[in-house]
Amino acid sequence: MTIIKQQDFVNSVANALQFISYYHPIDFIKAMHKAYLAEQNPAAKDAIAQILINSRMSAEGKRPICQDTGIVTVFVKIGMKVQFEGELTVQELVDAGVRKAYLDPSNPLRASIVADPAGARKNTQDNTPSVVHVEMVTGNKVEVMIAAKGGGSENKSKMVMLNPSDSIADWVEKTVPSMGAGWCPPGMLGIGIGGTTEKAAVMAKESLMEAVDIFDLQEKAKNNPEQLNADEKLRLEIMQRVNALGIGAQGLGGLTTVLDIKIKSCPTHAASLPVVMIPNCAATRHAHFELDGSGEAELVAPKLSEWPEITREGGENVHRVNVNNLTKADMASWKSGDSLLLSGKILTGRDAAHKRIHSLITSGKGLPEGVDFNGRFIYYVGPVDAVRDEVVGPAGPTTATRMDKYTDFMLEETGLLGMIGKSERGQQTVDSIAKHKSVYLMAVGGAAYLVSKAIKKSRVVAFADLGMEAIYEFDVEDMPVTVAVDSEGNNVHEQGPAIWKVKIEEIADKLA
């Protein structure tokens, strides 16, 4: 009988969560680099470059890859010949590890979990509870697969009950464009097929714990196609069809939307075909370890030499902009797809701040002293706490779509000049931007540490009780952004994928 000490389990979970906060899996980095080398759209290529540069910086600085340090999901497979020391349940042991990792003063991770989700939605302050799946298996070891899943990608999960004769690939191809860019492509799609609806969802999530191996599968298809099973054939078909959509990195249009397709399946009812698709973003974070009773799990740090040497190159359409004295006339010259380097003072605010701003203004109370959005930009962000000599911790953008319902109000009532976030905006918001001659700028999701280095000063100006959702004022210098929606309402998230879908078709025709 193997005895697993309580503290060994807790420490192993905590160490793994710290580890994955700043180390991408190397197989993922290699796949991303391959996509970078192949990419032909300059905007998408620059986005991938930022992701790769950010990844290396995070590995060097041991700071989070993304400011959204995720909801923790753990698969624990316990051997039948294993006994745990102490009285804590597996859920309690995992949560103790999560608590230790997220409150680590050397690298504090952002607490994003709220209790009472249909009510007060109060932050639990330590990122617990986690989501734990326990399975009893043969053997005398404990296998743990652990991931930190960002909300932007988790929110784009899709579930469907197809007819048995329906095409799964058709459904995926139709559904992926509806997910927008909020899941921060390029990433992976995990697909669970069969069982029941909840079983399909668990399989989809577990499939994302696997390494990127689509290139090996492509070689197998070329050399030994007769050895492919149904799931492998489906992975290859979906990979080709999704990348042919031209969505590209960050939804800007390009050759690579997905780096791999993962599928897990199991038997199902004869009348059913449950399918769940869960995307993993460009901040893919997971680790695997085993405990055999001999002590804590050892995680081997990758060598920095395994990261590619990437540098960003400025093009003709890169403009330096001082936001302190900007006018709508200045912004009128910006075109959708242009790259900007912002300097000056910007305010921040996301979901909770927008809700409170709306309530204060509509009630007649007005904004707190010192909060003035007139002629200013707002950055949708919830940063990680700073450590050591940092001005602010990793501070990448959050999904802008969630602020759509407040955008017309903010532009109409506060004099807001423009917005910075990630992913696309809804059509009503795009129309409002054009009506007010505003702009929406996109920062790269998955480049949070890189973005934080452009922030030279930071202070909380209002709503300190909201923690990471407080309103900050940032002094930025050369903060990289792309004009996603210009003052005429031209939208790169519509135009880019449409253009590159056609280009990919033309490339395929030439190859044929």
404 three-state secondary structure: helix
Residue 21 phi, psi dihedral angles, 5° rounding: -70, -25
Domains of the chain plus CATH, in order, are 2-293 (no CATH), 318-496 (3.20.130.10)
| pTM of the full structure | 0.93
CB within 8 Å of 436: residues ≥ 6 apart: 411, 412
Mean local confidence (pLDDT), 39-56: 95
Mean local confidence (pLDDT), 143-161: 97
pLDDT tens sequence across 190-208: 999 999 999 999 999 999 9
So what's the pLDDT on residue 318? 82
Residue at token pair 């909201």 = 466
So what's the pLDDT on residue 316? 63
Q: What's the Cα-to-Cα distance from 482 to each of 150, 250, 302, rounded to whole Å?
A: 22, 11, 32
pLDDT tens sequence across 466-491: 988 999 999 999 999 999 999 999 99
Mean local confidence (pLDDT), 105-123: 95
pLDDT tens sequence across 2-34: 999 999 999 999 999 999 999 999 999 999 999
So what's the pLDDT on residue 313? 67
Please report, as a single letter, which amino acid is at residue 387: V
CB 303 within 8 A of CB 23: no
CB 432 within 8 A of CB 408: yes
C-beta neighbour count of 298 within 10 angstroms: 9
Residue at token pair 């714990």 = 209
Distance CA 345, CA 440 (A): 17
Q: Quick check: 301 pLDDT over 80?
A: yes
Buried b or exposed e, range 134-167, using 16+ CB within 10 angstroms: eeeeeeebbbbbbbbbbbbbbebbbebeeeeeee
So what's the pLDDT on residue 21? 97
Q: How confident is the model at residue 317 (pLDDT cuts 50, 70, 90)?
A: low
Q: Quick check: 315 pLDDT over 90?
A: no
Mean local confidence (pLDDT), 113-137: 96
So what's the pLDDT on residue 314? 58
So what's the pLDDT on residue 400? 96
Report DSSP letters for 119-138, one per residue.
TT-EE-SS-PPPEEEEEEES
So what's the pLDDT on residue 312? 78
Q: How confident is the model at residue 384 (pLDDT cuts 50, 70, 90)?
A: very high
Distance CA 274, CA 148 (A): 25
The closest alpha carbon to 250, from 283, 278, 215, 204, belongs to: 283
Average pLDDT, the chain: 96
Report DSSP letters for 356-390, one per residue.
HHHHHHHTT--PPTT---TT-EEE-B-PPPP-TT-
H runs (alpha helix) in 70-157:
90-102, 151-154
The closest alpha carbon to 511, from 317, 244, 248, 259, belongs to: 244
Residue at token pair 């779509």 = 401
So what's the pLDDT on residue 362? 97
